[in-house]
Amino acid sequence: MSTNLVNYLKLRLGQSNVTASNNVTNWSGTCYITPLIGAFLADSYLGRYWTIAIFVIVYVIGMTLLTLSASIHGLKPECIKDDCNPTGSQTAVFFAALYIIALGTGGIKPCVSSFGADQFDETDEFERKKKSSFFNWFYLSINIGALIASSVLVWIQMNVGWSWGFGVPTVAMAIAVVFFFSGSNLYRLQKPGGSPLTRIFQVLVASMRKYSAKVPSDKSLLYETPDMESNIEGSRKLEHTEKFRFFDKAAVETETDNVKGMVDPWRLCTVTQVEELKSIVKILPVWASGIVFATVYSQMSTMFVLQGNTMDQHIGPHFEIPSASLSLFDTVSVIFWVPIYDQIIIPVVRKFTHRERGFTQLQRMGIGLVISIFAMVVAGALEVIRLDYVRRNNYYDRTTIPMSIFWQVPQYFLVGCAEVFTFIGQLEFFYDQAPDAMRSLCSALSLTTVALGNYLSTLLVTIVTDITTRDGKLGWIPDNLNRGHLDYFYWLLAILSLINFFVYLLIAKFYTYKKVTGKPR
């Protein structure tokens, strides 16, 4: 839905470049914040299957309303040629539909990848190896859908009509729902483990109550259930780690911990419960390092599209490719790199590193961060060349200039390559490093980097626009980009990405991977 949304907002709702761009990133950001709601419900009460089942219905309702807002007289804006005058209520219905979709996707995004990975038995060596490949092929399948969206769907929206352009994905989503429910008897279901937030707060409260308690040097004296199973539903035991030792106080046994022969969880927590909190704290810096990367990624649906709007979109004398359709080259890049990574790069790297997955998950994500820097450098260099072409030929007031839009392909291709390393690496990292009973929540946490990346993009655009338009200046990102300096914005993102990468290196250096023991309850 986000691929060509910026053009709908400009053409049908009459919004400026900055307003349309910010509305897209705000909505996209919300789509990656709502997964926290779905993840909490999945891990705590409903389980992943029922969370997906409920929220896909909400999603379809939102898609249906969106289609109606672009189809039915009275709901769709009245247009005379290219001049549209939407009413306040029409705009409200459109945005209501968008944010119902955002709510629906909140129960799908954090659960689908985790639910798929749940189908693999981690105690079986063959299935464990296949699970690593699953994340690659899962992301590939998403991008096959995105390929259709950025090519066929965008063409339909720009040439046939927005009612068909929104109606086709609505029908596609309904078909997807049927496919999902058709496999219900085959799925392996993970039991919800109760509220993860409650367990986290129990550790925090218990450790603060015992701030003066001394942690024994023999860690076997810390409280843990005696059998092989964890006392958390659906979770394996976690081995004790030496980091964040203050939280170990929550597992130190004292005389006041038992109430009427029962352990009070707000006074005494198991080692596994303490290690759950430690796992979350450990992955937070890794999580934060993904925000700038997501900001770079968000440019494909905003600045890349606006940049492409100013270029020659013709393929031959009669056919024009919509600028938003160039995101298909990002998708093609993902489709190209996933099998190469899975079938060629991993086996080659494995010979040198002797690791099952070739690279560690942190190494894989770091490579993607480096590639994203080059993507911004290439995008900035193209804008410098484009503006120089405008200046030399005095094309300042032309809507498009005779410079092929296909010069944008390298920047899209590099972003796609970076995705294969960073985004898929994140999917695998947050699933593997999450405590068993918090996997949906941690998957949602990884998705919030995309949300915050979109919000950061909005913030940067707002700040840059405010500063650069003072004293009557047009600024870096005016409605007429031929008179602006979009290249400066790309340089800003490249510098931020470089700083982010060096911070990431420090984070990765001190990170320790989790160790599990026993079996799930």
Give pLDDT tens digits for 125-148. 777 777 778 888 888 888 888 888
pLDDT tens digit sequence for 146-200: 888 877 888 888 888 888 989 999 999 999 999 999 988 998 887 787 788 888 8
Residue 24's pLDDT is what? 84
Name the pLDDT band for 520 (thresholds 50, 70, 90).
low
What's the predicted TM-score (pTM) here?
Answer: 0.78
The residue behind tokens 């004398």 is 317
Q: What is the pLDDT of residue 518?
A: 55
How much of the chain, in percent, has pLDDT values that exceed 70? Answer: 97
Alpha carbon distance 466, 365 (integer Å) = 34
Give Dmax over CA atoms of the chain in angstroms: 87
Q: Which residues contact 29 (CB under 8 A, 6 or more apart)?
A: 450, 451, 452, 453, 454, 455, 458
**pLDDT tens digit string along 209-260?**
888 888 888 878 888 877 766 777 767 788 888 888 888 888 888 877 766 6
Regarding predicted confidence, which is higher, 324 or 205? 205
Residue 375: pLDDT over 90: yes
Distance, in Å, from the CA atom of 282 to the CA atom of 272, rounded to the nearest integer, reads 15
* CA 430 – CA 314 distance, rounded (Å): 43
